Each structure stands twice: as C-alpha cells, then as structure tokens.
Amino acid sequence: MTAPASYDDYPFFGRYESDHAHAPFLIVRSLIQLGLADWSATLLHWLGRFDGYEQYIAEGEDPSLDPVCRVRDLLAEHVVRCGSRSADVPLTAKKRRERLDAIVEDLLQLDFVAAYAWWGKPRGDRVHWDCLQQDWLWFIQLGPDLSALQQMRDDEECAGLNTGRNASQFENLEYRDAVRDMLLSPQIEERA
C-alpha cells in the first residue's frame, strides 16, 4: 500500500498508519481488541521468521505477500467479524480456543506461509529455507546474493524463491500441522 501524496510532507513525512513499519503495532492492537493480547508474543515471534522477506517480493507481484501487512489485514478482518472486546471481560477458555483456531486456520491460508527459498546449484544439493527452523534474515546470510533470483548455468550457485500455493511444502500436511503447532504452542521456544 502506498501513502497518499499528502502524506509525503509535514507532519507525516511519508509515514501513515497502514504502512509496513506500523503494522506490528496494529497487529498487537487487533489482538487486544480480540481478547488475545497474551498471544502477541507467540504470533510476533513466528511472524519474525519472515522479517525482511517483503524485500524479495518481485516488483509487480501481489503486495499482499508481505507477511506483516497480510497478518495485520487478516486480524483487522477478525476484529470486524468478531467485534472489539473490553479488556475487563476475558474470553472463556472455549471461546479463546475457538478464536485462536479460526485465526490460525486463516493464517495457514496466506500465500507467504507456503513460500520457500533455496540456494545452491540447480542440479545439485541445495540449502532450503524452512520458516520452522530459521529466520529469513539468517537464511539469506548463508547463501549467495538473492537479489538476482534466477536460474543460472549448472555449475554456478544460484537462488530461487517460490511464493504462493504452488510451493510443494504447503501441500505437506505435516508442515501445515507443524506451523499450526508452533502458533498454538503454549510457550515460545527458541527455534534458531
């Protein structure tokens, strides 16, 4: 999403409430409104695995592949659908679980969750990025320059990025279950 021209000057200087940098604040606000403030750390920890990924979305591709903005939008949709809660009235355990399950199922439908990347020789061993095991920023430090995501000759290292539903790991139910478990786990574990 781009800022209206009027936001480029004083007093906004290019910042606006729906920009990428502000999205984590809106995510937390939505979780508070949904009565799930205590889930903020878990969700942001998982979402942090994709930090920097938005820089590799090709120009002209769907900007909704930006993980942080897409989660922000999804949670805003849940606030509209469920309504905002008073912090004084906690959710029942059953309602909390239903709400979390619904949000996690919606998160699993987002294209970026199915994204994967690799680097190595096209016809050789490759190193694959797995958001369950490593952060995006850690992965890109391991490999060659990912700015030219293209096939090269067989003897050269290259990199690939697959965004969206045709990513093979998304069809793997064990992978989906592992993402679900990570999001619904009662504790944040260090997974790097």
DSSP 149-175: -S---TTS-EEEEE-STT-HHHH-HHH
- pLDDT attached to residue 189: 43
Model confidence at 176, pLDDT cuts 50, 70, 90, reads confident
29 domain residue, yes or no = yes
Region 126-151: mean pLDDT is 72
168 domain residue, yes or no = no
- pLDDT attached to residue 3: 47
| Range with the poorest average pLDDT among 61-65, 118-122, 173-177 | 61-65
Domains contained in the chain, number: 1
Q: Does pLDDT of 18 surpass 70?
A: no
Q: How far apart are CA 111 and CA 95, in angstroms?
A: 27
Count CB atoms within 10 A of the CB of residue 42. Answer: 20
- pLDDT attached to residue 151: 44
178 three-class SS = helix
- pLDDT attached to residue 79: 95
User: What one-character-per-residue DSSP string does 110-143 give?
Assistant: SGGGG-EEEEE-TTS-EEE--TTT--HHHHHHHS
141 domain residue, yes or no = no
Region 139-163: mean pLDDT is 58
Three-state secondary structure readout of 20-62:
HHHHHHHHHHHHHHCCCHHHHHHHHHHHHHHCCHHHHCCCCCC
Region 73-92: mean pLDDT is 85
Q: Does pLDDT of 108 surpass 80?
A: yes
Region 66-74: mean pLDDT is 92
- 11 cis-preceded (ω within 30 degrees of 0): yes
32 domain residue, yes or no = yes
Q: Does pLDDT of 30 surpass 80?
A: yes
149 domain residue, yes or no = no
126 domain residue, yes or no = no
49 domain residue, yes or no = yes
Model confidence at 161, pLDDT cuts 50, 70, 90, reads low
Q: How far apart are CA 34 and CA 8, in angstroms?
A: 32
Region 17-43: mean pLDDT is 89
Q: Does pLDDT of 162 surpass 60?
A: yes
Q: How far apart are CA 93 and CA 80, in angstroms?
A: 21
- pLDDT attached to residue 150: 45
Region 100-106: mean pLDDT is 96
Q: How far apart are CA 144 and CA 146, in angstroms?
A: 6
Q: Does pLDDT of 61 surpass 70?
A: no
- pLDDT attached to residue 154: 45
Of the segments 63-67, 117-121, 179-183, 186-190, which one has the largest average pLDDT value? 179-183
What is the distance of C-alpha 171 from the center of its chain? 18
185 domain residue, yes or no = no
Range of the domain at 56: 5-92+105-110
